[in-house]
Amino acid sequence: DGGITQSPKYLFRKEGQNVTLSCEQNLNHDAMYWYRQDPGQGLRLIYYSQIVNDFQKGDIAEGYSVSREKKESFPLTVTSAQKNPTAFYLCASSTQTASYEQYFGPGTRLTVT
């Protein structure tokens, strides 16, 4: 089945630790995105990548880092510099065509205490 997978579904970390969230897609999409969702705030863009080995900051990139070494994979690292890391993280992908639809993974809920 084609789709986007994110792992793990739930992640718990202590404050001060870096943590990496996985995102993999087998849709052959060129573009991939990371969003953060907090209650009452919709989705906010953290980072996005249009092609392998290239990525750009979104609206709330501070405290996060990404890599895009393979077309299928776009891992997100939440660093200790991120002030409020507890949130629901969604990964998405899309083709680079006039269809602007993005396909979403199931998300990872990160809790930092």
Partner 1 sequence: EDKVVQSPLSLVVHEGDTVTLNCSYEVTNFRSLLWYKQEKKAPTFLFMLTSSGIEKKSGRLSSILDKKELFSILNITATQTGDSAIYLCAVATVQGAQKLVFGQGTRLTINP
Binding site for partner 1 (CB under 8 A): 4, 31, 33, 35, 40-45, 48, 50, 56, 58, 90, 94, 96, 98-107
In the bound state with partner 1, the residue whose beta carbon lies nearer, of 16 and 98, is 98
Rounded to a whole number of angstroms, the minimum distance from the CB of residue 104 to partner 1 is 4
Rounded to a whole number of angstroms, the minimum distance from the CB of residue 7 to partner 1 is 13
The 10 Å CB-count burial string (b at 16+, else e) for 44-53 is: ebbbbbeeee
Distance, in Å, from the CA atom of 103 to the CA atom of 16, rounded to the nearest integer, reads: 32
Rounded to a whole number of angstroms, the minimum distance from the CB of residue 15 to partner 1 is 25
Q: Of 66, 46, 68, whose CA–CA distance to 58 is shortest?
A: 46
